[in-house]
Structures are given as C-alpha cells and as structure tokens.
Homo-oligomer: A and B are copies of this chain.
C-alpha cells in the first residue's frame, strides 16, 4: 500500500507526510505501507516509511516511475505558484496542467482506481463576484495559475465521472501563517506580514488594508486534506470540487491580530509599499465563501485569526 505525495519536499507536502505517518492516520497508511514523496528536492521528513524520489513532475518518465498497482492514494500538491506561472506561462502550463494530466493518465492505467486528492486554489475565481461565493460560481481566473488549476479541476471531475480515478479537488484558501521564507506566490505577503514581524524582521504589505482574504491555518488545511482522502467519493456527487473552509479576514484585521499576539512593536515592523502586480492577482480573489456543503461533509474551519497567529507562535517556539 503506497501513498504518493507530489510536492512532498514543500512546506505543505512535508507537513502532510508527517500527518500521514502519525498513528491517527493509520486508516490511510496502514502498517507496512509507504509514502512516496516526489519533488525537485528530497523530502525533509526522516522516516523509514518515506521513499523520496527527486525529479520533475512535468517529465512523463518521472511520473511513470511513481505509480504502481499498490498506489491507493495520490496527493497532487506539486505546482508552480501564482506569481511564477504568471511570469512564465509555458512553465505553468507544463507543471500545473500537463503534469496533472500525465499523473491522472498513470492512475487510469492501474487496475485499482486510486483516490486522487488535488490541491486547487481560490485563484480560479475572479471578476465580478457576489460578496459570498456560492459553490456554483463559475471560475473566471485572472491569472494563468488560476486558469491552469481550473482546467485541471475539470479534467479530474471528468476522470472521476468516467471512473478513471476517484478524485477530490480541494480549493485551498490562502494559507497563513506559512513558516519559512517568502516565495513567488502573489499571496506570499499574507504570511510574511505576520511571520517576519513576529521574528523581529520588517515585512511589506503590498495590498490595501481593506483587502479581504480567505485564510486557513496550515494545520486546518492538513486536517482537511486528510479528510478529503477519507471521504467516500460517492458523497461528493457530481461535483468533485470543494471550496475548503476558511475564515474571511481583512488585512487590517490580520494586523490587529498581529498587534494583540506579538505586541505593537511587531505591528510597527509592517511597511506599506503597494505592488501593482500582487494587487492585480490577489485583489481579484474572493474573500468569502459559502461553506455549507464542506462543513456538512465534515471539513474543519479555524475558530478565528488570533488563534491562527498564536498557533504559529507556538510552532516557532517548538
């Protein structure tokens, strides 16, 4: 029994692998099972049950080496992030769309249909939107990243309808607070404006203070990714795509949380240099969703943003 995690060296992938190794997840990874991490870099999780494959997911030969008849579950997290996919359209197509398709094809060739959990994004949405986004709203991506994710969603839905895979598409909220370094995601600041000030460093907020973001803590996203694999695919009905629960928070409210948790000194480390490139992408995303169905299906949501920032602070001090 084998679980494949693409992007297993990334922040989310590594944390997911740790969660899959925990005894509480032995329904997904029973004794004797292994986790295959596939990423450009080796998986940082040191455990005998983790096999790390390094390579490029946009290389079909690499994909073919990852899947075999014992693969029961695939987490496809590997992606080129929004800012990078906007700057290099062809790279984004190759990694965010073509690699997903190749992976789906590899799954389709297996005798046993694997469960396939795909990390999509609220970046599929854009343009005029109601205050709260309903499940039936059409994607209208304002970034190539969003367009590539939306195309992959349709493909997974059709592969599931045809019985080629048993797919579950999770549109992730913006994750905050991500540990580590800033990255090329347009939403990188949504972690930076908390993480850096809490570590005594300066950080820039490139968007207006009243920008509303749809946020989830890393732990809640991980819990929800595990839940997505546990669900009975039939319970999803025709719509394999879910807007994962998040909380709707304005940037000003994020900074209020920062001041409450980290003090005024931390809050004072945030600068406000607008960045048009970031604004164009991030301000096209919805800030609130109707999450009735995901909650009914058993997905979790964070209590409030203060608790998210406190959890990050606890992680920092571990």
Contact between chains at A147 and B155 (CB < 8 Å) = yes
A29 at the interface (CB under 8 A from B): no
Is A16 located at the chain interface by the 8 A CB criterion? no
A239-B155 contact in complex given A136-B138, A138-B138, A142-B161, C-beta closer than 8 Å: no
Say yes or no: is A25 at the interface (Cβ < 8 Å to chain B). Answer: no
Chain B proximity mask over A113-145: 1 for CB below 8 Å, otherwise 0: 000000000000011100000011111111010
Is A154 an interface residue, CB under 8 A from the partner?
A: yes
Query: What residues on B are CB-neighbors of A248 within 8 Å?
Result: none
What's the interface size class on A, roughly? 20 to 34
User: Are the CB atoms of B89 and A140 closer together than 8 Å?
Assistant: no
Shortest CB-to-CB span from A122 to chain B, Å, is 14
In Å, the complex CA distance between A239 and B237 comes to 28
Query: Taking the complex as formed, is A38 at the interface, i.e. its CB lies under 8 A from any CB of chain B?
Result: no
**Residues of B with C-beta under 8 A to A127:** 237-239
User: Among B137, B147, B161, B237, which residue has its beta carbon within 8 angstroms of that of A157?
Assistant: B147
**Is the contact region of chain A dominated by helix, strand, or loop, or is it mixed?**
loop
- Among A141, A144, A154, the one with the most B-chain Cβ atoms within 10 Å of its Cβ is A154
Q: List 24 A-B contacts (CB under 8 A).
A: A126-B238, A127-B237, A127-B239, A128-B238, A135-B138, A137-B138, A138-B138, A138-B139, A139-B154, A140-B157, A140-B239, A141-B154, A141-B157, A142-B161, A142-B238, A144-B158, A147-B155, A147-B157, A147-B158, A147-B161, A151-B151, A151-B154, A151-B155, A154-B154
- Interface assignment of A228: CB less than 8 Å from any CB of chain B: no
* A175 within 8 Å of B (CB atoms): no
CA distance A313 to B147 in the complex (A): 44
Which residues does chain B contribute within 8 Å of A239, judged by CB atoms? 127, 140
C-alpha spacing A237/B126, complex, angstroms: 12
For residue A222, CB closer than 8 A to chain B, the reply is no
Contact residues, A142-193 vs B (CB, 8 A):
142, 144, 147, 150-151, 154-155, 157-158, 161-162
Kindly list chain B residues whose C-beta atoms are within 8 Å of the C-beta of A162. 89, 144
The 8 closest A-B pairs by CB, nearest first: A147-B158, A138-B138, A127-B238, A151-B151, A151-B154, A147-B154, A150-B154, A136-B138
Cα-based distance from A158 to B89 in the complex (angstroms): 10
Closest to A124 in B: B154
Known: A127-B239, A151-B154; 13 extra A-B contacts, CB below 8 A, are: A89-B162, A128-B238, A135-B138, A138-B139, A139-B154, A140-B238, A141-B157, A141-B158, A144-B162, A147-B154, A150-B154, A151-B151, A151-B155
